Structure 1
Amino acid sequence: MTAIPADDLIDDRLARRNAILLACAQALGGASASIVIATASLVGAGLLGADKSLATLPVSFFVLGTAFGTLPAGAIMHRFGRRAGFVGASLLGVGSGVTSAYAIFASNFALFCLAVAASGVVGAFVQQYRFAAADTASDGYKPKAISFVLAGGMLAGIVGPQTVIWTADLFSPVMFAGTYVGQAVLSLISLAFLPFLQIPRPKHTGEARGERRPLLQILAQQRFIVAAACAVTSYALMNLVMTATPLAMIGCGHSRTDAALAIQWHVLAMFAPSFFTGHLIARFGRERIVALGLAMLAGCAVVAISGVEVAHFWVALVLLGLGWNFGFIGATAMLTGVYRPAERNQVQAVNDFIVFGFVAAASFSSGALLDAFGWATVNWLVFPFTLLSLVLLGWLVISERQRELT
């Protein structure tokens, strides 16, 4: 049996501790995303009146906030450290939740969009939890650390929708105002875990003094291109379908509770596999797991097109969540192999900026596509993008095998 280096044991013990703390914070901070997804389009529809084409705009602002928050998040954490960045983001989450509730009381659609965008900025920091878990891990433990942190999202998949169900009528007849007060409380509670993180800043580990390549050279790598493309496809298609789902379900005569539970099952499917996704990646390889995720996204579209009963929506969204999990975690694990320690913050931030830029575009178009062309068209769009990503993935595997042979 091959001996495990002592340094790896030390790093992985610290990585496991950090992963537990980050998983707890993910369970609470990550709940904000499911709250916004389940309610923001419904709030938008109520505030807009007759014109429903812009009802998904608040969700789009949430995603846009995440996209624009990625680069500042990377810069802030490079300058001040992971812990300081995460704590500051949680405080912003408290403020954005309170402001969202006030905007609903005031029937101010523009302010609600801005407040939800601030929640999206917080989401950019939450997205960095998975990278933070890998910072102190050995190469072999990184996929497990990433998936373990995202497993905290399984609890978020329960906490978020249940918060919606229990607080939607709290300040009746002003629907969902109580939900965003609940969002602020969840962000406040997450602060209890973040101060205990132990992630050395790069300048204290010598990483900042390491050799750094030009950014364009890193981004031009074949593996970066394919990893980013698969991450974009997994996340953008998931967001496109998920954002339209609550409005589509209400439009098909289903209840708000049915829609919230659909999101709950979807988020559970997104994060529950994270307990074993890292093990699957270690056993079968990152590329195979990404391919499986892309196939599940296509399966989601098949189910969604086949009918509009509650069961169709729920099964489709479960497949959508599973596809996102395998596709996005696998693509994230692929990304960790393209940068050096001194390059990590910059490359991670650029990757997330690219991903959430496309996710924002998908979110912006979701409501208009649903309003103009219907639920089936939204799902037909899944097929060409999943096929393209599978082709790129095959191109990468074949190219790397040819290089190994030569």
Structure 2
Amino acid sequence: MTNNQYKKTLIVVIFSQIFSGLGLSAGISVGAILAKQIIGNESLSGLPSMLFTLGSAFFAYLVGKISGNHGRRIGLSTGFFIGSLGSAGVIFAYKTNSIFLIMLSLFLYGAGAAANLLSRYAGTDLAPDNKKATSISVAMVFTTVGVLAGPFILNFISSNLLHIGIKEELSAFILASLGYFLSFLIIFIFMRPDPLMLSIKKNKESKLKVDEDVLKDNNAKRNILLSALVMIIVQVVMISIMTMTPIHMNGHHHSLNSINLVIGIHIASMFLPSLITGRIIDKFGTKIMIALSSLIFIISTIIAIVSPGSSFLMLLISLALLGLGWNIGFISGTTMLVKYTSGLNRAKIQGNIDIFIALAGALASGVSGYFVFMIGFYKFLGLFLVLSLVLLVLSFNKEKHNNTRS
């Protein structure tokens, strides 16, 4: 019965990821450009990304807390619904020329991103121990379907809405609102029985022992901290470079379609490799894969540094590798976190760690515009060569195993 529920949960998560993927890149590809138009100051172009990343941090905590108390179904559906409202709010605020409402809406838009990322855990609640990483991969990879379909749907939406005065950039938020709302419906209607509640019920008899194990086991705490550091670093490297690339391309007169395509391929590279990433991690472990993530980041950054801003192809390759490095590092860190938490405390710990991941990303995206303005795009990239080396050092920390149950 548990195996059937595990498979059913994965199917529900897959469909929710497809639709949430449609709008995942909206604020990334056009948010910075809108900010430049509204504020008129390029040094503040990272502000929208910072706002929806701060929103992602806040709602990671909220969704994690709700999930811990009431289950994944209520927690995730709440996040997707608020994300849908925030996306729609950006459109309304822009039409009414309300900067405050745009900023508030971008913050709420972050709830959709938080729910999208936290969905990766839902597939692991009932997964066998030797399929944790594979379950994470399956949950994440189908976001790619929505991401790849996004640009084509955006072209259709833009061509049909331009004549009524809706800006091309805003069509991305129309798509995001629709995608997040459909994800809300899928999770709310079909995620029954709740996988986290089933997992908790399964471990109910050992509740006190498992909680004490995680609280007192220094090895478990050490590995949880290590997993958090890995995910934070890969998020900072990825989101910093990704946030500034549209501005860099816009400054070199690339079209909005070209920018959307680069970001779309980048996000596809963040999720599509999950078809095999999870299986490889389950087979070879997280240590070697974290090292591989670091090396891919280094190669990606070097390509961007040596490439002229006018080279669409080189920027495309660099951003694709950036997404791949994030995929490997993020799934490795997530797998470690799942391994060293139990079903009884997993949602709370996962939500709390995702707060720090999102806050780190928010800080990185918020100050990235300032750094690029002060030192230039290419020196800015050099900072992340150093951070990628830190990730490489972390990969040499020996991962020890414990007996924490799922």
- Residues 203 and 339 (structure 1), Cα distance of their counterparts in 2 relative to 1, 3 Å cut: closer
The amino acid of 1:62's aligned partner reads F
CA distance in 1, matches of 2:121, 2:375: 38
Counterpart for residue 274 of structure 2: 274
**Residue identity (%):** 25
Q: Measured at CA, do residues 204 and 229 of structure 1 come closer, stay the same or move farther in structure 2, by a change above 3 Å? A: same
> Residue in 1 aligned with 2:150?
160
Secondary structure of the residue aligned to 2:341 is coil
In the alignment, which residue of structure 2 is the partner of 1:224?
Answer: 224
Residues 288 and 395, structure 2, Cα contact 8 Å, conserved in 1: no
CA distance in 1, matches of 2:213, 2:99: 43
Q: Residues of 1 paired with 2:217 and 2:149: CA distance?
A: 39
2:53 equivalent in structure 1: 63
Whether contact under 8 Å (1:296, 1:320) holds in the other structure is yes
| Deviation by residue 1:336-365 (Cα, 9 ceiling, x = unmatched) | 122233221221112111211211111111
Paired residue for 2:124?
A: 134
Instruction: Say whether 1:196 aligns with 2:184.
Output: no
Q: Is the 8 A contact 1:227 1:335 kept in 2?
A: yes
Equivalent position of 2:320 in the other structure: 318
Stretch of structure 1 that moved more, 104-113 or 60-69: 104-113
Higher mean Cα deviation, 213-222 or 19-28?
Answer: 213-222
What does 1:284-363 align with in structure 2 at a 5 Å threshold?
284-307=284-307, 308=309, 309-363=311-365
- Cα distance 1:389–1:179, how it changes in 2: closer, same or farther (>3 A)? closer
The structural deviation recorded for 1:146 is: 0.5
2:207 to 206, 209, 225: 209
Segment of structure 1 superposing worse, 166-175 or 124-133:
166-175
Residue of 380, 385, 388 corresponding to 1:386? 388
CA displacement at 1:168 relative to structure 2 = 4.2
Match of 1:283?
A: 283
Match of 1:36 in 2: 27
For residues 83 and 380 of structure 2, the distance between their equivalents in structure 1, rounded to whole angstroms, comes to 31
**Measured at CA, do residues 11 and 143 of structure 1 come closer, stay the same or move farther in structure 2, by a change above 3 Å?**
farther
Look up the equivalent residue of 2:48 and give its one-letter code: P
Structure-1 separation of matches of 2:47 and 2:13: 30
Question: Which whole-Å CA distance do the structure 1 matches of 2:154 and 2:373 have between them?
Answer: 24
Counterpart of 2:133? 143
Instruction: Give distance in 2, aligned partners of 1:142 and 1:155.
Output: 22
Relative distance call for 1:102 and 1:214 in structure 2 (3 A) is farther
Cα distance, 1:21 vs structure 2: 1.5
- TM-score normalised to structure 1 length: 0.90
Instruction: Give the C-alpha shift of residue 393 in structure 1.
Output: 1.9
Please name the residue that 2:379 is paired with.
377
Please state how far the C-alpha of 1:216 moved relative to its aligned partner.
6.8
Residue 119 in 1 paired to residue 121 in 2?
no
Alpha-carbon distance between aligned partners in 2 of 1:225 and 1:311, rounded to the nearest angstrom: 38
Uncovered stretches (5+) of structure 2, i.e. residues with no partner: 402-406
Please say if residues 218 and 339 of structure 1, whose CA atoms lie closer than 8 Å, have aligned partners that are also in contact.
no
2:32–2:246: 8 Å Cα contact kept in structure 1?
yes
Say whether residues 1:18 and 2:20 are aligned partners: no
Task: Give the alignment partner of residue 38 of structure 2, picking from 38, 47, 51.
Answer: 47
Deviations 1:66-92 (A, max 9, x none): 112122111111122111222222222
Tell me, in whole angstroms, the C-alpha distance in 1 between the residues paired with 2:196 and 2:253. Answer: 52
Matched-pair contact (CA < 8 Å) for 1:81–1:200: yes
SS of alignment partner, residue 341 of structure 1: coil
Question: How many pairs are equivalent?
Answer: 389
Please state how far the C-alpha of 1:93 moved relative to its aligned partner: 2.4
The whole-number CA distance in structure 1 between the counterparts of 2:290 and 2:263 is 23
Structure 1: runs of 5 or more not aligned: 1-9, 402-406
C-alpha distance in 2, partners of 1:200/1:246? 39
- With 239-248 and 226-235 compared, the bigger mean Cα shift is at 226-235
**Contact kept in structure 1, 2:32 and 2:48, CA below 8 Å:** yes
The alpha-carbon distance between structure 1 residues 387 and 12, as it changes in their structure 2 partners (threshold 3 A), is farther
Q: Could you tell me how far apart the structure 2 residues matched to 1:96 and 1:240 are?
A: 23
**SS of 1:221 mapped into structure 2:** helix
Change (3 A) 1:216 1:361: farther
Tell me by how many angstroms 1:122 deviates. Answer: 2.7
Query: In 1, Cα distance between the equivalents of 2:139 and 2:35?
Result: 32
Once residues 81 and 221 of structure 2 are traced to their aligned partners in structure 1, the CA distance between those partners, rounded to angstroms, is: 37
Q: List structure 1 runs of 4+ shifted beyond 4 angstroms.
A: 214-220
Tell me the TM-score normalised to structure 2 length.
0.90
The RMSD of aligned alpha carbons is 2.2
Residues 378/191 of structure 1: CA separation in 2 closer, same or farther (3 Å cut): same
- When residues 217 and 171 of structure 1 are mapped into structure 2, their CA distance, relative to the original with a 3 A threshold, is farther
CA distance in 2, matches of 1:27, 1:60: 25
The farther-off stretch of 273-282 and 342-351 is 342-351
Q: Is the 8 A contact 2:200 2:343 kept in 1?
A: no
**Alpha-carbon offset, residue 120 of structure 1:** 0.7
Aligned to 1:5: none
